[in-house]
Every structure is written in structure tokens, then in C-alpha cells.
């Protein structure tokens, strides 16, 4: 397995976002990381450098700036190679050096569930000087979770638990739903392998197909809302495995009873328009009995307010 990933892949992914100088810096970081990690292997047998590369690639997909992507290549050199912070500063500038240093700092996390909030706060505080540190930490963790199967089981569970308790909420707080969903599903795979495999088999409809369906519903709802002259933004998502699993737990129901595998959100300008939108939706699609919650009249404990309903769209329930 001596496949060496090519830096061109990253440059191409960045498209027109980089100038010549930035491209040179990325090339330099690629070569530097490749050289300093030479001979180091991951448990998968792959060269350690592949992890640095994949982390940089995730950051590229997140549309991060050049400095963060460069730091992605270099994020383990302080810890795992003879490189010093001074050397990084000299070669790549002080911003990159301090991002790498921020990621290298181990944050002592407490282990009891009660300390969850404290842990999340620690992670966020540790990076208050530069939010890019936390984005790099998330990318690093995401690639580690994607390759977790090579670790011994006890370690898999430990890392998955920490990910679920610290990194998932951090991604959620930063509004990074794609990262949050993938991390959650990967955690489920290692913490509840039986349930994960069963869900995977049951939800045979691929996420892409579900996302296509969601787009169809979103378009129909948009038209309806516009026809009723209600100012609103409409968005939708196909639920991830973990979301479905949580619903089964919370409602103590088997998979068969989780019918709403996609969720549409309508955000409008006033409470009055919320009820108007609801009315329009109920007039067009049959609402499902006992599947309506008015959190505007009865807010949740955290003051969350909205209307939840489920309707039949082409014979399928949509939330």
C-alpha cells in the first residue's frame, strides 16, 4: 500500500481560490509533511502522511483558507517529528505555526457524563484566539473516525464516546451539520455496531436518493408557500442514521414506526406567518393524526419555539 496522494488533488479542489504564492505554500507543506513523517506508519499499514493529507483534504472541502489547509498538512509534525515551532514559523509563517501549536495542545478532558459541558467549553476556549484551530481539530477527528476500524475495539469505543460527547456538540454549535452527521453515524457504527448494521440494511435507500426526494418535497413546499404569499425560506435534509436511532430511543419505538426519514424546515418572519404556512401545508397534504406539536404556544424548556407536523407527501410521511 505505497500509494502516495498527490498534492494536485488539493489544488484542484481549491479551484480559483488560490494564487501562485498560496499554491507554492501548499506544495511546500505537502513536501515538508511527506518528508518529516517519512517511515512512520499508521495501524492500517498506510504511510502516516496519508492522514495529514486526508485532513488537509477535509479542510479543503470545508472551503478553508490556505493557512488552515497548510496547517492541516502539518498538524502532527510538532508532536510526532523533530520539527520545532520556530522552524514552522520560519518556513510557513507565525499564523500556521500557532494553528499547529493550538491543535497539538492536549486538552485534558474529564470522563464523567456530567463534565460534558465543561469539556465542550474547554475545547472552544482553547481555540478562542483562532477558530481555525477547532476546524482543524474537527477535520483531524473526522479522518481518525473514518479509519477507526484499524484500532483495537476498546480504543475504538473510547474514541467514539469522546467524539460523541465533545466533538459532535462542538460541530453542532458551529453549525457544521455535514461534519456533525458524519461523526454521529461513525460513532454509532462503533458504539452500537448491531444497531448500526441493522439500520444500514433497513435504510437501503441510499442517502443520495433520500436527498433527491427531499429536494422534490422542498420544491413543492416552496411553490405552495410562494402561492400563498408567505415570505419564507424552505430547506430540507435526509436524516442520518444517528438521528433515526435517537428518535427510536426517545420514543421507544421500533424502526418500522420511524416513518419520517426526511425533514423539511420552513422559516418565516412572524408567528402569524408560521400558522399561515402550517394552514397552507395542511390544506394541501393530509396531516398525520397525533403528529402535531405546537411549541410556539408551549415552548420547550430551552425556549425553542416552532410548529411540528407530519403530512403524507405522495404516500410517504414527511416531517
Distances (CA, A) of 242 to 121, 183, 190, 195: 23, 9, 12, 10
Strands (E), the chain: 232-238, 262-268, 293-294, 307-308, 311-313, 316-318
Residue 179 neighbours by CB distance under 10 Å: 23
The three cell numbers of residue 133 are: 484551530
Active-site residue, from 24, 79, 257, 314: 79
180 vs 172: CA distance, rounded Å: 6
97 Cβ contact list (under 8 Å, min separation 6): 85, 88, 89
Give yes or no: 80 in active site.
Answer: yes
Strands (E), 70-144: none
Active-site residue, from 65, 80, 192, 294: 80
Give yes or no: 226 in active site.
Answer: no
51 vs 8: CA distance, rounded Å: 16
| Residues annotated as catalytic (active site), given as ranges | 79-80
Amino acid at each position: 500500500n505505497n500509494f502516495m496522494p498527490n498534492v494536485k488533488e488539493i489544488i484542484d479542489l481549491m479551484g480559483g481560490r488560490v494564487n501562485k504564492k498560496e499554491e507554492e505554500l501548499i506544495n511546500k507543506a505537502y513536501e515538508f509533511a511527506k518528508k518529516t513523517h517519512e517511515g512512520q506508519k499508521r495501524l492500517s499499514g498506510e504511510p502516516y502522511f496519508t492522514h495529514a493529507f486526508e485532513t488537509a483534504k477535509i479542510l479543503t472541502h470545508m472551503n478553508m483558507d490556505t493557512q488552515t489547509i497548510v496547517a492541516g498538512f502539518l498538524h502532527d509534525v510538532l508532536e510526532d517529528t523533530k520539527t520545532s515551532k520556530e522552524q514552522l514559523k520560519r518556513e510557513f509563517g507565525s499564523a500556521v505555526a500557532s494553528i499547529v501549536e493550538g491543535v497539538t495542545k492536549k486538552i485534558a478532558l474529564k470522563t464523567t457524563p456530567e463534565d460534558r459541558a465543561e469539556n465542550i467549553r474547554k475545547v472552544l476556549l482553547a481555540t478562542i484566539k483562532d477558530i481555525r484551530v477547532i476546524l482543524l481539530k474537527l477535520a483531524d477527528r473526522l479522518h481518525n473516525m473514518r479509519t477507526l476500524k484499524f484500532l483495537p475495539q476498546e480504543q475504538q469505543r473510547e474514541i467514539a464516546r469522546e467524539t460523541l460527547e465533545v466533538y459532535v456538540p462542538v460541530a453542532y454549535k458551529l453549525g457544521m451539520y455535514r461534519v456533525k452527521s458524519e461523526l454521529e453515524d461513525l460513532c454509532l457504527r462503533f458504539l452500537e455496531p448491531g444497531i448500526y448494521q441493522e439500520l444500514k440494511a433497513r435504510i437501503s435507500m441510499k442517502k443520495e436518493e433520500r436527498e433527491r426526494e427531499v429536494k422534490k418535497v422542498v420544491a413543492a413546499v416552496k411553490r405552495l408557500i410562494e402561492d400563498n404569499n408567505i415570505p419564507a425560506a424552505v430547506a430540507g435534509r435526509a436524516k442520518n442514521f444517528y438521528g433515526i436511532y435517537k428518535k427510536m430511543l426517545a420514543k421507544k419505538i421500533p424502526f418500522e414506526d420511524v416513518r419520517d426519514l426526511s425533514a423539511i424546515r420552513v422559516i418565516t418572519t412572524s408567528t402569524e406567518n408560521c400558522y399561515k404556512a402550517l394552514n397552507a401545508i395542511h390544506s394541501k397534504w393530509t396531516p398525520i393524526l397525533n403528529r402535531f406539536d405546537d411549541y410556539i404556544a408551549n415552548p420547550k424548556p430551552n425556549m425553542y419555539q416552532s410548529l411540528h407536523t407530519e403530512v403524507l407527501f405522495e404516500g410517504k410521511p414527511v416531517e
